[in-house]
Structure 1
Amino acid sequence: MDFFIRIEKEREKLNKNENELLKYFIENAQDIKNMKIQDVAKKTFVSTAGIIRFCKKLGFNGYSELKNSLALTVKNQGEKGRVYTQSKTSSNIFNDIDKTKDMINDSIIDEITDLIHETERIDFYGEGSSRLVCMEMSRRFQLVGKQTYHYDDTSIMYLSASTLKEKDLVFAISMSGETSQIIRAVNIAKTKKATVVSLTSMSLNTLSNIADKSLFIYSTKYSINGINFISRIPAIILMEYVFNKYVEKYVG
């Protein structure tokens, strides 16, 4: 099983120091596969016993199983990270949808639906094609009586973020998790004590790190006539799943 899928349902159990250890493993994945546990302990200033506890907390038998799983996933992602031609895009999209479905953590989805129910206002932040996801989901939640906003202009997005209040909710959507405009808007929202839910491709990224709740998808790059694309279909499907869960719990 893919390393990121395997750990997703366990990540919530990690404390701050363990999250830093996970960040080290992911950022140094290429080196980890050739490192002994003692080498990692020296680099991270974590005891070998602490590393083993960390591995088991993520559902692995020990250090060797974790590093082998991570190495295999990085190798596979390297192959998937190549830009595909048009003839392969349809199968890649369905594979991405299946992988996204496998990563769904219903306990986190349930927490997010509670946040939606408790808030008076929801802002949706997205740039480029992610704006389409924001537009559609804003419209959906408006239909069930929620006060929602999405923005085509980043300056208005920043202004809106500055008017948020405690318990207001932000959905921030960025495939890379590194879109500077979205990160800036989210940081403004955090200063107002708003709650932030991120939606990004599966990776260790800035946006998911600063969010209160994180949703992840798989989305493969592909190319048509020399132009690169990243599908937002898995993002739309995951957000629609959140919407349907909210409706079932609080509206239906």
Structure 2
Amino acid sequence: MPPLVKIRSERDQMSAIERRIADFILDNAHLLRDYSSQQLASALGVSQSSVVKFSQKLGFKGYPDLKYSVGTAVARNGDGAPVPQQEPAADADVFTRLQDGLRRSKAAAEEETRSLNPRANIEAIVGLIDQAGKVFVCGLGDDGLFAREFAMRLSLLGLLTVHHADPILMMANLSAVRPGDTLVMFSEFGKLPQLSQVSRQFQACEGKVISITRHTANPLRAHADAALVISAHDPAPHVEQLLYRSSLQSLLDFVFVLLCQSNPDRYRQLNINLERIQQMLDS
């Protein structure tokens, strides 16, 4: 996992001193090569041993190992590395700069998301969905938009899919849950108590829960049987939301493609359903 992605993903579980070190590295990754452990400690008002322990806690041998890893990531235009930009001379330059910047940010967020979801985890989730008797899909607000589209795609594969945008109706529908059924729960921050309650009740019915959240510590992800996680970071809130949506869609598309490829019967059913829909549109 890229070092800055690892730091961001574990920040919520860090102590106050560790967060201070983490925030400095995330904001100044391109300058870290100029700091020794003592200089970094002095700049942040912490002990040198705190910097060393921070590095080791992240899995590095020590601070030099962390600094080298971050420097390598920055040299490769990795996450957190600022891209030098010239001041625009005209409106056309502003247009191009924004367009290229958003494209690079989306690509970086999607790459981080890929690195945070290892092959074994994704294949296990594909197996849970493919083998489920019924797949329940739930999401609220913006999450509900992705939940609805994903439920539609699962239906096209011949999976019996039940979509809910209301946790109360989902709770009422738990009587239909059977062992082996799967619930895919969309929640960007994973903190809504209603969704966690539905998740626990679903598991009490011997169903499996797959959470889809940001790569943060949250109740929904902590109690799920399997989890897909999304990485999206940007100083501008409106851009960060776009990065989240882009990374989430990319990950869902990959899961859908895997479902198509891993089961020939699903792929065959998809083509049949697409043909039926096309015939309806042509009539």
Q: Rate the CA distance shift 1:94–1:3 in 2: closer, same or farther, 3 A.
A: closer
Where 1:199 maps in the other structure, the secondary structure is: strand
8 Å CA contact retained: 1:177, 1:205: yes
Partner of 2:116: 103
- Aligned pairs for 1:90-239 within 5 A: 90-220=103-233, 222-223=236-237, 229=241, 231-239=244-252
Any idea what SS the aligned residue of 1:129 has?
helix
**Aligned-residue CA RMSD (Å):** 3.9
User: Which amino acid is 2:155 matched to?
Assistant: Q
Shift, 1:65, TM fit? 7.9
Task: Tell me what 1:28 maps to.
Answer: 14
Q: Tell me which residue corresponds to 1:16.
A: none
Structure 1 residues 174 and 2 mapped into 2: Cα distance closer, same or farther (>3 Å)? farther
Q: How does 1:48-87 map to 2 (within 5 A)?
A: 60-62=59-61, 87=98
Shift, 1:142, TM fit: 0.7
Q: Deviations over 1:111-140 (max 9, x none)?
A: 112112221111111111111111111111
Q: Are the structure 2 counterparts of residues 68 and 182 from structure 1 closer, same or farther at C-alpha, using a change threshold of 3 Å?
A: farther
CA distance in structure 1 between the aligned counterparts of 2:222 and 2:126, rounded to whole angstroms: 20
TM-score under structure 1 normalisation? 0.67
Residues 229 and 114 of structure 1: CA distance in aligned 2, closer, same or farther (over 3 Å): closer
Counterpart of 1:11?
A: none
Once the 2 structures are TM-superposed, how far is the Cα of residue 208 of structure 1 from its aligned partner? 1.0
Which sits farther off after the overlay, 140-149 or 155-164?
A: 155-164
Greater strand content: 1
- Higher RCO (C-alpha 8 Å, min separation 6): 1
Shift of 1:199: 1.1
Quick one: which amino acid aligns to residue 143 of structure 2? S
Q: Deviations over 1:176-195 (max 9, x none)?
A: 12123322221221221211
Assess, with a 3 A threshold, how the Cα gap between structure 1 residues 66 and 117 changes in structure 2: closer, same or farther. farther
Letter aligned with residue 115 of structure 1? L
- Structure 2: which 5+ residue stretches go unaligned? 22-45, 72-78, 83-97, 268-283
Letter in 2 for 1:2: P
1:214 counterpart SS class: strand
Shift of 1:153: 2.5
Give structure 1 regions of 4+ aligned residues with deviation exceeding 6 angstroms: 65-69
Whether the 8 Å contact between 2:214 and 2:229 is mirrored in structure 1 is: yes
- Structure 1 residues without counterparts, runs of 5 or longer: 9-21, 41-51, 80-86
Q: Could you tell me how far 1:61 is from its partner in structure 2?
A: 4.1
The question of whether the paired residues in 2 share the 8 Å contact of 1:130 and 1:232 is answered with no
Percent of aligned pairs with the same amino acid: 17
Shift of 1:162: 4.7
- Partner of 2:263: helix, strand, or coil? helix
Q: Structure 1's 178 and 67: CA in aligned 2 closer, same or farther, altered over 3 A? A: farther
Structure with larger Rg = 2
* Counterpart residue number, 2:3: 2
Question: Residue type matched to 1:30 in 2?
Answer: A
Q: Distance in 2 between matches of 1:172 and 1:68?
A: 38
Structure 2: distance between partners of 1:7 and 1:107? 22
Distance 1:147-1:5 versus aligned 2 partners, 3 A rule: farther
> 1:4 touches 1:202 (CA, 8 Å); kept in 2?
no
Report the counterpart of residue 31 of structure 2 in structure 1. Answer: none
Structure 1 or 2: more helix by fraction: 2
